[in-house]
Amino acid sequence: MSDWDNVTVIGSKARPAGAGAGRQGPTAYERAKQVGAITDNDRKVAAGTNKGHAPVDHQRIAKLDRENEVAPPPKVAPSVGRAIQQARQAKELTQKDLGTKINEKPQVIAEYESGKAVPNVQILSKMERALGVKLRGKDIGQPFGGPGKK
């Protein structure tokens, strides 16, 4: 029974008996190197660095450095504060009631009325809807029409 001595390999790695790994012909890179088409295989000069980015505008940076003044953030106009206060009093609401109605703290309402707050469009629009008065644009203090009827 010589069947025990024979080994059958099934699959993509199967090779006939006696056939070794066997080297195939040179790759395209090796042929180009032999011919002299490739002279070096060193890394490129800026490979792996940030040097490929656009140059820095030094004039603009120098101009910013010379300017010592920092502009303060804009504040709410006094007319907006007066309009909020008058509309709130016309509806007989306290600052706390208005704050509760629009989900803001009473301190925020006080800051807007005194003109110390930095304007926030979301808060102003909530106040407009709650008070029924325009607080943005050119008609500050005028009755707010609300969304149009369809």
Does residue 43 form part of some domain? no
Eight-state DSSP code of residue 141: T
Tell me the pLDDT tens digit for each residue of 67-109. Answer: 777 778 889 999 999 999 999 999 999 999 999 999 999 999 9
| 127 pLDDT more than 90 | yes
Q: What's the number of CA atoms in the CB half-sphere (13 Å) around residue 110?
A: 4
Give pTM, 2 decimals: 0.52
How much is the mean pLDDT over the chain? 81
22-26, 36-40, 61-65, 77-81 — most confident range: 77-81
Does residue 139 form part of some domain? no
Range of the domain at 99: 78-131
Does residue 55 form part of some domain? no
Instruction: Count up the domains in the chain and report the number.
Output: 1
How far is CA 61 from each of CA 20, 54, 57, 65, 72, rounded to the nearest angstrom?
67, 15, 7, 6, 21
Both tokens of 51, joined, read 């040097």
Looking at residue 126, which CATH number applies to its domain?
1.10.260.40
Does residue 117 form part of some domain? yes
